[in-house]
Amino acid sequence: MVSPAIALAFLPLLLTLIIRYRYYFVLFYRAVLVRIWKDCVTGLSREERAFQYVLTNSTPGDPDSILDAFDYWCSKVEFISNIGPKKGKILDRLLMEQSPLTVLELGAHCGYSTVRIARALPLGARLYSIEMDQGNAAIAEKIIRLAGFDDDTVELIVNPSDEVIPRLRSDYNLERLDFVFMDHWKKCYLPDLQLLEGYGLLGKGSMIVADNVLFPGAPKFLRYLRKCGLYEWKIHRATLEYSRGIRDGMAELIYQGIK
């Protein structure tokens, strides 16, 4: 049994850790504990609960209204790791600057970033969005169509990215990707980037934007960028979506081709 004196000696250290990592404790509570409790109480997945809120608190055919409803739900009700409004504005700006005609999204999740990208595309552009989880893809499909985007603008592909990328040229007639947005499993960032390179889907000037490269982090992906010499790149520093005090960032890459 620990004596009171020893317990008191460790109290300052405990308080220091709680204060230093308070934002991570809040994130754990919102992202894990609340989710487990509400899964049990409602019998619905977190993504299904988000969809129900968006459906009843947004205007069909209005992408801005749908994103606003998502942002409110994720910041005030339950945490979902969308790109969020702050980093989303950086993505908006990059899309406006690039005006890409062919866009690939890796990780649709429940459709937030898909809608955000689709609303910024020029006339005649097409977005191919890959989501491996069938349940999440079903929600994303509803959100995308609720926002008013049809198959001619957004095509949702339900399969793992490492299975789809090698077939993009043969099955979808894609010769070059102008813009790629990565927001799926962070461990897949590097192998999927190398697949895109290997299958010749990137041309000089193709832009790749990768979210959450600092938290949870994609260290192998960043090490590769430093060493490979194929990209001009930089990190847009920000905080984690719908959170305070947790540093994060998005990587912006411009493919320069093989030298």
Of residues 48, 71, 183, 192, which has the active-site annotation?
183
Of residues 141, 211, 248, 252, which has the active-site annotation?
211
Q: Which of 246, 60, 47 is nearest to 145 (CA)?
A: 60
Of residues 71, 141, 192, 212, which has the active-site annotation?
212
Of residues 186, 192, 248, 252, which has the active-site annotation?
186
Q: Which tokens belong to 43?
A: 């019998």
Catalytic (active site) residue 241: yes
Give the whole-angstrom CA distance, residue 151 versus residue 171: 16
Residue position matching structure tokens 């947005």: 181
Catalytic (active site) residue 212: yes
Give the whole-angstrom CA distance, residue 168 versus residue 174: 6
Amino acid at 203: G
Of residues 71, 131, 192, 241, which has the active-site annotation?
241
Catalytic (active site) residue 48: no
Catalytic (active site) residue 192: no
Catalytic (active site) residue 87: no
Contact 110, 136 (CB under 8 A): yes
Give catalytic residues, as residue numbers: 183, 186, 211-212, 241
